[in-house]
């Protein structure tokens, strides 16, 4: 991953300043299911340059990241007519309407935490989910995690800690979270939220356990479970 990180830092340095952070944050979120370490570049930018404002770095980076994810969302939205049958597309669209604000909440949680957010962004695009609700959720989440990343870099610099060690620990934590969350069936989670709300989701976890939402469970051939008869 180091050459990829070096490439991002070179781009940011070549463009310069906050605009460089904005550009690499867009690039770092353009390819679904392929983690590009743009937050690492944000971390080192804030930790190594004492003149930067970590809050502004976070807002600029979060906005760029949200725009990158918006392109992923629209790509999934457009692809629904290619990869889904007409009947399945209608079922997904109905589910997208059922989800309501839960979809934006889910996007916010994934975007604001070290988690593979594409596992929820792509299904929402296939569901023809509201672009406005999606963007509000992803923008808020990306700004939160970007401010936290830049702020961590500044704190480590001020306390005189080992910048590389703290980065590697954060990276290890990110990888563990990403691997765990990858095996969850997020379409099933969204379907349960759309049908039963948060209470129904918690009740199902309590009665069936987290295994109810693992990818190894089969769904059938007609689309989301919530829509099958």
Q: What is the mean pLDDT of residues 189-198?
A: 72
Give the separation between CA 40 and CA 216, rounded to whole angstroms. Answer: 32
Of 13, 10, 8, 44, the residue nearest 26 (C-alpha): 8
Of 176, 187, 178, the residue nearest 215 (C-alpha): 187
Q: Is the model's pLDDT at 22 over the cut of 90? A: yes
Give the separation between CA 190 and CA 178, rounded to whole angstroms. Answer: 19
What are the residue boundaries of the structural domains of the chain, listed by start? 2-182
Query: Which residues in 14-45 are b (16+ Cβ under 10 Å) and which e?
Result: eeeebebbbbbbbbbbbebeebbbbbbbbbbb
Per-residue pLDDT at 179: 66
Instruction: Supply the DSSP symbol for 226.
Output: G
pLDDT tens column, 55-100:
999 999 999 999 999 999 999 888 887 777 777 777 777 777 777 7
- Predicted TM-score (pTM) of this structure: 0.72
């Amino acid at each position: 991953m180091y050459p990829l990180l070096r490439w991002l830092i070179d781009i940011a340095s070549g463009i310069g300043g906050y605009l460089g952070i904005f550009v690499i944050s867009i690039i770092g979120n353009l390819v679904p299911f392929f983690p590009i370490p743009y937050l690492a570049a944000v971390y080192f930018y804030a930790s190594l340059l004492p003149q930067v404002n970590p809050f502004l770095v976070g807002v600029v980076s979060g906005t760029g990241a949200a725009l990158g994810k918006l392109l992923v969302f629209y790509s999934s939205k457009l692809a629904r007519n290619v990869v889904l049958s007409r009947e399945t597309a209608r079922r997904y669209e109905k589910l997208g309407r059922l989800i309501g604000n839960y979809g934006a909440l889910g996007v916010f949680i994934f975007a604001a935490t070290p988690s593979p957010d594409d596992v929820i962004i792509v299904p929402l695009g296939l569901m023809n989910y509201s672009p406005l609700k999606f963007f509000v959720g992803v923008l808020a989440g990306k700004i939160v995690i970007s401010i936290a990343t830049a702020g961590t870099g500044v704190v480590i610099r001020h306390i005189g800690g080992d910048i590389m060690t703290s980065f590697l620990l954060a990276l290890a934590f990110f990888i563990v979270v990403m691997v765990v969350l990858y095996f969850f069936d997020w379409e099933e989670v969204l379907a349960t939220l759309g049908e039963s709300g948060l209470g129904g989701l918690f009740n199902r976890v309590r009665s069936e356990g987290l295994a109810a939402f693992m990818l190894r469970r089969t769904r059938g051939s007609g689309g989301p479970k919530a829509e099958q008869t």
